[in-house]
C-alpha cells in the first residue's frame, strides 16, 4: 500500500514540476497565445491569471500579432502602446518561483509574398514591419538578442520562411520551432529545419485566441483556454522548459539555449519529462568534441506510461527502446560512436495513450585530434565554422585569422568556449578576403592553462 | 654634396587600396627574408619578382640565381632568376616563382571529410633596366601571377617602375610598386592593387666591408614604415646581414631578419646565402639562395 502511495505521489510531483538528475527542472509553458490586444479575446491580465490559476502552467506568453497594421481590411495588429502595456502587465504578473509571464509579438508576414509567422519574446519594441523582408526580420531578431520561434511552419503560411532555407549568418536568430500546436502537427518541419542546418529546439503551443465558431448557433463563442487548450488531436500542447529557477531571466536563457521539450498532454496533469543528455550536456546544446565514444542518457517520466523511446541520429530514428512492460519512469542509457563532422541527436517519446513528446536536439561537432583547428567547409566560399579540439575547462576561445604574409585579417571571439566560431570570409573591415590560403591561430584559455593551436584553411570563390 | 645624395620623396597615394595578398610580393630569396622590402635598395643581386628594376641596368654580368624558402605551416616557395646585360641597350631579367601552399583536408559544411585540396601559385616577371648618363637607372618590371585553387584559378598582372641615381658608393632610389588593374582579372570579386611607394638611399664604405641602406615604404593599408639594412663583410668571402623592418600590420613578424652569405666562390663567382626571420607563434621562415655570375 505504501508503495502505491509513493508511486502516486511521485507521479503527481512529476506532473507538476518535472525533476531530473540534471541541475535543471522542467517548467511547463504555452509560448503562443493572443488576447484582444490583437485578434483574441479579453485582456492580458485575465489571460495570464487564467494560465496561472486555472490551467496551472508555469509560463504563459502572450504573442500578439504584429502585422504592421491591417490585413484583409481588419486591423488586428498590436499597437506600440498596447505592446508596451503588455510588457508592463507581464512583468507585474510574473512571480518568481511560481509563474512567468512573457510579453511577445507574433510577426505575421502574410499575403502571397509573406514568409510566415515568427514569435519573439520580451523584445523592447515591435519589429518595424516589412511583409517580405525575411532576412531583415532575422537581422532584427539578432540585434534584439531575445529568443524567437518559427510558428506553425508549413507551406499554408506562404513561403514558409523561404522553405526554411538555412542562412548561417542568421542561425543564432532562431531558437525554437513549433513541432505541434493547436491546429496541426509540424513534426516534418522540425526534422527538415534540423536537416537544413538550423539549430532550433522543439516547442509545442496552443496559439490561443479563445474564439470558437459555434456551428449550432452560427455565432462566435468565447471560451477561455490559455494554457489548457485541447487541440485537434485531443491533447494539450505544452513546451517543457528546462531551467534552474522559475524566473524570467532563467526562462529566457533556457529558451535561447533551446533547453526545451515539446509535448502533447492528455489528461491535463499528464505532463511529460523528457530529457536528453550526451556526456552530461543537455538538449539544445551545441559543442565540439573529439571523435570517439559518447554516453547518451535519456530520462523520461510522466503519469502515463511510456511505450517507446526513439533516439534520432541526424534525423533518422536509429535506436529504439521499447518499454516492456510499459513504464511511466525510465532511464535509457546507450553508447554511441561519433566520427568527424556534425551529428545531432534528439528523442521522441510515445506514451501508451498515444501522446508524444520531442526533445530539442544536441549538436556535436566531431573533430580529430590530428587536426586541432580546421574549417567546415574547406575550401570556404562564403561562411565557415572554425572547429577545434576543445581545451578541458576552457573559459574563452579566440580565433585570429592571418593571410600568408602574416597579416592579421580578423580576430573573432567565440561565444562559447567549446562551440565552433563562425567566420563569414570577411576581414576586419567587412570586405571579402581574396582567394587563397589562410591561417588560424586559436587561443583557448582555462583557469590554469592557455593553449595556442594553428590551423590552415583555404578560400575559393 | 657630392658625397651624399639626399633623396626627397613626395608620395601621393593613388587610390584607396585594399588589403590583399599577391604572391609576387612574398619573399623567396635569402636577402628578401632578411631585409624585407629593404632588399629593393640593398640587394645587388637578382631577387626574383621582388626586384628593383632600376638597379638592373647597373649589372654588367650575366647572373643566374635560384632560391628556396620554407614558410610556416607547410608552405614552400621558390624562385629562379636570370639577368642578361644586352650591351648598350640595357639589362633584361626573367624571373619565375612558385609557391606550394600545401595540401589540406577538405570538409563539407557539416564536417564530413571530402578528400584533400591543394593550392599552388606560379609567378612570372620580366624586368628591364637602362642606365643613362652613367648615373641614372630607369627600370620597369611586368609581373603576373596565377593562383591555382581546387575548382578554379585566379590570375592577374601588375608592374613596378623605379628610378635610381648612383654616384660612387652612394645610391638613391624611388620606386612605385604594384601598379596595375584590379586583381584578379578573371574573378567577379576584384581588389584594387595595393600600390606601394618606396624611397631610400644606400651607401657602401670601407671597400664594401660595410654597406647599409634606409628606405621608407608607404602602402595605403599598412601606412608608412621604414626598412633598414646593414651588411658587414668581416672576411673577403663572408657577409653578415641584418635587416630591420616593422610593418604595422604584420604584428607577429619579428622586425629583425638575419642572414649570412658566402660569395666569390670559384671562378664563376658562386654565392650561397641564408636568411631567417621569426613570425612568433606562426613559425619561422628561412630561405637559401644560390647565385652565379658569368
Q: Per residue in B200-237, pLDDT tens?
A: 999 988 888 899 999 999 987 667 999 999 999 999 88
Selection from A145-159, A251-265, A358-372 with the highest mean pLDDT: A251-265
Report the residue from A407, A427, A437 with minimal CB separation from B101.
Answer: A437
Structural domain ending residue among the three candidates A365, A381, A399 = A365
Task: Give residue-wise pLDDT tens across range A132-143.
Answer: 889 999 999 999
- Are the CB atoms for B77 and B28 separated by under 8 Å? yes
Close Cβ partners of A88 (under 8 Å, ≥ 6 residues apart): none
Are residues A265 and A118 both part of a single domain?
Answer: yes
> Is the pLDDT confidence value at B3 over 70?
no
Shared domain check, A101 and A170: yes
Do A100 and A151 lie in one domain? The reply is yes
Chain B residues within 8 A of A434 when measuring between CB atoms: 20-21, 154, 184, 189, 191
Compute the distance between CA of residue B153 and CA of residue B185 in angstroms, rounded to an integer.
Answer: 10
CB A461 within 8 A of CB B187: yes
pLDDT of residue B207: 82
Question: Is A115 a residue whose pLDDT tops 60?
Answer: yes
What is the structure's pLDDT at A110?
Answer: 66
Q: Which of B16, B17, B19, B252 to mutate to test the interface with A (most CBs of A within 10 A)?
A: B19
How many whole angstroms separate alpha carbon B40 and alpha carbon A39?
75
Instruction: Tell me the pairing of strands A176-180 and A148-150.
Output: parallel
| C-alpha A216: how far from chain center | 40
Look-up of cell digits 530514428: A317
User: Is B86 a member of any domain?
Assistant: yes
Percent share of chain A, pLDDT over 90: 75
Separation of alpha carbons A248 and A101, rounded Å: 8
Read off the DSSP letter of residue B252: T
Smallest CA-to-CA distance from A129 within A172, A73, A69, A75 is with A69
C-alpha to C-alpha distance for B160 and B171, rounded to whole angstroms: 19
Neighbours of B82 (CB within 10 A): 15
Q: Do A376 and B102 touch (CB under 8 A)?
A: no
Instruction: Name the least confident of A140-149, A431-440, B173-182, B264-273.
Output: B264-273
ipTM of predicted assembly, 2 dp:
0.90
Q: Which of A365, A381, A413 represents a domain boundary (last residue)?
A: A365
At residue A15 the predicted structure's pLDDT band, cuts being 50, 70 and 90, is very low
Least confident of A272-281, B205-214, B277-286: B205-214
Q: Please identify which residue in the block is written with the cell numbers 486555472.
A: A54
Q: Between A and B, how many residue pairs show a Cβ–Cβ distance under 8 A?
A: 124
Parent domain of A395: 370-459
* Domain annotation covers residue B141: yes
CATH of residue A144's domain is: 3.20.20.140
First to last CA, chain A: 72
Write the CATH number for A379.
2.60.40.1220
User: Predicted confidence band at A440 (pLDDT cuts at 50, 70, 90)?
Assistant: very high
> Do A196 and A172 sit in the same domain of this protein?
yes
CATH code where residue B101 lies: 2.40.160.60
What are the φ/ψ torsions at residue B182 (nearest 5 degrees)? -55, 150
Give how many domains chain B has, as a whole number. 1
Annotate A70-88 with DSSP letters as a single string: EETTEE-PPPHHHHHHHHH
User: In the prediction, which pLDDT does B13 show?
Assistant: 31
Q: Is A160 in the same domain as A101?
A: yes
Residues A339 and A384 grouped into a single domain: no
Specify burial of residue A382 (Cβ count, 10 A radius: 0-12, 13-18, 19+): middle
Alpha-carbon gap, residue B287 to B69, rounded angstroms:
4
Residue A207, φ and ψ in degrees, nearest 5 = 50, 50
Q: Does B110 touch chain A (CB under 8 A)?
A: yes
State whether B151 and A460 contact (CB < 8 Å).
yes
Nearest C-alpha neighbor of A168 from the set A191, A142, A133: A142
B positions 113-142 inside 8 Å of A (CB): 113-114, 117, 119
Q: Is residue B187 one of the residues assigned to a domain?
A: yes
Q: How many domains does chain A have?
A: 2
Q: What is the mean pLDDT of chain B?
A: 87
In residues, how long is chain B? 294
Q: Testing the interface with B: which of A343, A378, A424, A441 to mutate, by most B Cβ within 10 A?
A: A378
pLDDT of residue B17: 34
In a domain, B48, yes or no: yes
Residue A360 pLDDT: 98
Q: Are residues A25 and A111 in the same domain?
A: yes
Give the structural domain span for B110: 26-293
Q: How far is CA B127 from CA A2, A367, B30, B180, B215, in A?
A: 98, 48, 20, 15, 21
- DSSP E strand stretches across A226-315: 236-243, 260-265, 273-278, 281-282, 286-290, 292-313
Residues 203-232 of B with CB under 8 A from A: none
The distance of A385 to chain B (nearest Cα, Å) reads: 8
Cβ-defined contact of A341 to B108 (cutoff 8 Å): yes
**For chain A, percent of residues with pLDDT exceeding 70:** 92
- Per the listing, cell 631567417 goes with B276
- Taking only the tens place, the pLDDT of each residue in B5-55 is 333 333 333 333 334 567 888 899 999 999 998 888 877 776 777 888 998
Residue B70 at interface with chain A, using a CB cutoff of 8 Å: no
A310 Cβ contact partners less than 8 Å away, ≥ 6 residues apart: A317, A319, A320, A321, A347, A348, A349, A350
- Express each pLDDT in A40-88 by its tens digit: 999 999 999 999 999 999 999 999 999 866 555 556 789 999 999 999 9
- Looking at residue A70, what is its pLDDT? 59
Residue appearing with cell numbers 624562385: B79
pLDDT by residue (tens digit) across B91-123? 999 999 999 998 999 999 888 889 999 999 999
Regarding whether A419 and A351 lie in a shared domain, the answer is: no
Q: How many other β-carbons are positioned within 10 Å of the β-carbon of residue B106?
A: 18
Query: Is B148 domain-assigned?
Result: yes
- If asked whether residues A256 and A317 sit together in one domain, one would say yes
Q: State whether residue B269 sits within 8 Å of chain A by CB.
A: no
Q: Is B107 on the interface with A (CB under 8 A)?
A: yes
Question: Is there a single domain that holds both residue A401 and residue A273?
Answer: no
Q: Do A102 and A148 fall into the same domain? A: yes
The predicted structure's pLDDT at residue A6? 54
What is the reported pLDDT for A111?
A: 66
Please name the member of A403, A404, A435 whose beta carbon is closest to the beta carbon of B149.
Answer: A435
B51 CA to chain A: closest CA distance, Å?
A: 18
Q: Does the residue B121 lie in any domain?
A: yes
Residue where a domain terminates, one of A324, A349, A365 = A365
More confident residue, A342 or B223: A342
Please state the rounded mean pLDDT for residues A456-460.
Answer: 94
**DSSP, residue by residue, A142-192:** HHHT--EEE-S-STTSTTHHHHH---GGGGGG--EEEEE-SS-B-HHHHHH
Question: Phi and psi dihedrals of B115, rounded to 5?
Answer: 75, -150
- State the pTM of this model: 0.80
Lowest model confidence (mean pLDDT) among A327-341, A421-435, B39-53: B39-53
Residue A187: phi and psi, rounded to 5, are -55, -40
Distance from CA of B62 to the nearest CA of A (A): 31
Are A408 and A356 in contact by the 8 Å Cβ rule? The answer is no
Are A257 and A384 found together in one domain?
A: no
Q: How far apart are CA A50 and CA A227, in angstroms?
A: 8
Amino acid at each position: 500500500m505504501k508503495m502505491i502511495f509513493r508511486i502516486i505521489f511521485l507521479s503527481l510531483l512529476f506532473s507538476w514540476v518535472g525533476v531530473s538528475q540534471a541541475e535543471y527542472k522542467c517548467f511547463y509553458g504555452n509560448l503562443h497565445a493572443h488576447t484582444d490586444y490583437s485578434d483574441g479575446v479579453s485582456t492580458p491580465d485575465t489571460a495570464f491569471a487564467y494560465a496561472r490559476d486555472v490551467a496551472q502552467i508555469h509560463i504563459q506568453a502572450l504573442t500578439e500579432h504584429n502585422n504592421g497594421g491591417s490585413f484583409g481590411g481588419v486591423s488586428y495588429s498590436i499597437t506600440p502602446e498596447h505592446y508596451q502595456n503588455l510588457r508592463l502587465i507581464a512583468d507585474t504578473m510574473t512571480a518568481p518561483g511560481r509563474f512567468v509571464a512573457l510579453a511577445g509579438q507574433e510577426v505575421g508576414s502574410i499575403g502571397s509574398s509573406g514568409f510566415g509567422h515568427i514569435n519573439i519574446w520580451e523584445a523592447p519594441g515591435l519589429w518595424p514591419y516589412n511583409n517580405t523582408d525575411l532576412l531583415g526580420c532575422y537581422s532584427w531578431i539578432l540585434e534584439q538578442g531575445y529568443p524567437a520561434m518559427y510558428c506553425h511552419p508549413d507551406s499554408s503560411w506562404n513561403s514558409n520562411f523561404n522553405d526554411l532555407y538555412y542562412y548561417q549568418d542568421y542561425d543564432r536568430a532562431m531558437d525554437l520551432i513549433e513541432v505541434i500546436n493547436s491546429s496541426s502537427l509540424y513534426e516534418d518541419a522540425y526534422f527538415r529545419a534540423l536537416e537544413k542546418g538550423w539549430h532550433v529546439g522543439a516547442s509545442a503551443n496552443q496559439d490561443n485566441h479563445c474564439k470558437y465558431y459555434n456551428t449550432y448557433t452560427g455565432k462566435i463563442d468565447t471560451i477561455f483556454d490559455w494554457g489548457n487548450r485541447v487541440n485537434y488531436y485531443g491533447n494539450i500542447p505544452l513546451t517543457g522548459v528546462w531551467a534552474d529557477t522559475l524566473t524570467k531571466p532563467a526562462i529566457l536563457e533556457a529558451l535561447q539555449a533551446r533547453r526545451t521539450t515539446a509535448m502533447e498532454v492528455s489528461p491535463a496533469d499528464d505532463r511529460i519529462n523528457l530529457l536528453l543528455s550526451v556526456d552530461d550536456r543537455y538538449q539544445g546544446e551545441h559543442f565540439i568534441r573529439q571523435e570517439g565514444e559518447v554516453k547518451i542518457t535519456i530520462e523520461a517520466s510522466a503519469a502515463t506510461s511510456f511505450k517507446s523511446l526513439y533516439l534520432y541520429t541526424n534525423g533518422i530514428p536509429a535506436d529504439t527502446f521499447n518499454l516492456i512492460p510499459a513504464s511511466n519512469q525510465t532511464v535509457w542509457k546507450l553508447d554511441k560512436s561519433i566520427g568527424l563532422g556534425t551529428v545531432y541527436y534528439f528523442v521522441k517519446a510515445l506514451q501508451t495513450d498515444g501522446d508524444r513528446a520531442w526533445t530539442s536536439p544536441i549538436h556535436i561537432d566531431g573533430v580529430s585530434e590530428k587536426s586541432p583547428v580546421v574549417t567546415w567547409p574547406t575550401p570556404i566560399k562564403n561562411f565557415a565554422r572554425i572547429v577545434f579540439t576543445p581545451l578541458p575547462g576552457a573559459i574563452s576561445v579566440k580565433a585570429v585569422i592571418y593571410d600568408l604574409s602574416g597579416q592579421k585579417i580578423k580576430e573573432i571571439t567565440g561565444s562559447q568556449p567549446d562551440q565552433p566560431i563562425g567566420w563569414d570570409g570577411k576581414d576586419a573591415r567587412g570586405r571579402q578576403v581574396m582567394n587563397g590560403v589562410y591561417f588560424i591561430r586559436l587561443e583557448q584559455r582555462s583557469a590554469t592553462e592557455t593553449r595556442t593551436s594553428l590551423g590552415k584553411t583555404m578560400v575559393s570563390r | 654634396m657630392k658625397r651624399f645624395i639626399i633623396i626627397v620623396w613626395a608620395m601621393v597615394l593613388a587610390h584607396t587600396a585594399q588589403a590583399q595578398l599577391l604572391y609576387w610580393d612574398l619573399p623567396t630569396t635569402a636577402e628578401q627574408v632578411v631585409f624585407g622590402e629593404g632588399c629593393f635598395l640593398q640587394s645587388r643581386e637578382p631577387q626574383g619578382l621582388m626586384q628593383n628594376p632600376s638597379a638592373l641596368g647597373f649589372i654588367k654580368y650575366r647572373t643566374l640565381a635560384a632560391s628556396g624558402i620554407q614558410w610556416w605551416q607547410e608552405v614552400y616557395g621558390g624562385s629562379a632568376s636570370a639577368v642578361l646585360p644586352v650591351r648598350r641597350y640595357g639589362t633584361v631579367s626573367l624571373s619565375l616563382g612558385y609557391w606550394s601552399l600545401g595540401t589540406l583536408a577538405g570538409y563539407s559544411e557539416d564536417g564530413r571529410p571530402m578528400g584533400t585540396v591543394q593550392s599552388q601559385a606560379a609567378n612570372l616577371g620580366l624586368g628591364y633596366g637602362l642606365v643613362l648618363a652613367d648615373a641614372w637607372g630607369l627600370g620597369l618590371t611586368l609581373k603576373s601571377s596565377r593562383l591555382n585553387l581546387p575548382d578554379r584559378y585566379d590570375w592577374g598582372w601588375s608592374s613596378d617602375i623605379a628610378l635610381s641615381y648612383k654616384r660612387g658608393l652612394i645610391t638613391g632610389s624611388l620606386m612605385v610598386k604594384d601598379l596595375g588593374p584590379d586583381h584578379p582579372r578573371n574573378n567577379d570579386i576584384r581588389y584594387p592593387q595595393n600600390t606601394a611607394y618606396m624611397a631610400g638611399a644606400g651607401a657602401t664604405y670601407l671597400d664594401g666591408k660595410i654597406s647599409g641602406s634606409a628606405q621608407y615604404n608607404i602602402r595605403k593599408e599598412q601606412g608608412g614604415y621604414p626598412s633598414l639594412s646593414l651588411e658587414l663583410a668581416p672576411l673577403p668571402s663572408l657577409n653578415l646581414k641584418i635587416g630591420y623592418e616593422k610593418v604595422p600590420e604584420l604584428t607577429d613578424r619579428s622586425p629583425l631578419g638575419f642572414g649570412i652569405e658566402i660569395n666569390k666562390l670559384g671562378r664563376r663567382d658562386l654565392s650561397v646565402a641564408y636568411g631567417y626571420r621569426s613570425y612568433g607563434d606562426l613559425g619561422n621562415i628561412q630561405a637559401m639562395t644560390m647565385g652565379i655570375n658569368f
